[in-house]
Amino acid sequence: MGKQPPPGPSGRGARGEPRKGSQEKKKTNSKPKHLDEQEIPYRLRELIKSREEMKNPKSKKRRKAAAVSKRKPAAPDPAAQGDIPVPKFKRRKQESVPAYIQRMEQETQHVLFLTKNQLQREPETEEPAPEKSQKKKEFQNKRLEKMRKKREEKKAAILEKALFQDPVQFGEVAMQPPALTVKPRKGVIKEKAGPRQLLLTALLAPGHAAPAPKAAPMSLARQRIVEEERERVIQAYRNLKKRRQQQASERCLAGDKQEKPF
């Protein structure tokens, strides 16, 4: 194996191939092609492009519409499905009368050709389109009802929040708590501090009798029981009184017998 000769002054190897270091050096530190012109940096070009798009948003919308139209599949041919499209004749701009008549004849002949070569259709034997099942309909109705209730609750919450808000202006000062003009429905009404109506005031006041408490209404069965108890008590009282009278009369007779000797 022989020794490779050293590279020459031009920076090339033995076979005349440039070295990698020299290539990188040329790329980074090379002179511009045109000394009077300077290339715009990439970042600056992107910035100018974005500014132009902001000034002209229509161009961006057009590009988006074109991209969407490319993505969308082509509409199916109605003639292939069995329905022949009905042509609509309208004279175009700068179209002569003979050309317009010729175009109408061509479209008419095309429709006649499709009509003659159309397959025999039997709509009676065709299966109808599958309708939604009952469960699916119920599920959709429940979902709609749930969404409607949710919207109503949200509206009520927003309205309640707006009612309970008290806007305070700058520099406004409250000297005392607010006075309630409406009493709560189920709240306990407390009496104010000061002289209260005592229970014995009516009895102590001269010429004023305490009002008798009203008895609660009784049922017919309760009234009958009370009446029977009343009659029993009255009869027992009468019997007791009669017995005492008999005992008193017997004592009187016994005393008279002792006073009179035989």
pLDDT at 173 over 50: yes
Helix, strand, coil percent content, the chain, rounded in steps of 5: 50, 0, 45
Residue 72 pLDDT level (bands cut at 50, 70, 90): low
- Residues 30, 33: Cα–Cα separation, whole Å: 9
pLDDT digits (tens, 9 = 90+) for 152-172: 999 999 988 888 887 888 888
Amino acid 54: pLDDT:
81
Neighbours of 12 (CB within 10 A): 13
Mean pLDDT, residues 218-238 taken together: 91
pLDDT at 193 over 80: no
pLDDT at 130 over 90: no
Residues in the chain: 262
pLDDT, mean over the chain: 76
- Enter the DSSP assignment of 120: P
Mean pLDDT, residues 197-216 taken together: 64
Q: Is 12 helix (H, G, I), strand (E, B) or coil?
A: strand
Residue 233 pLDDT level (bands cut at 50, 70, 90): very high
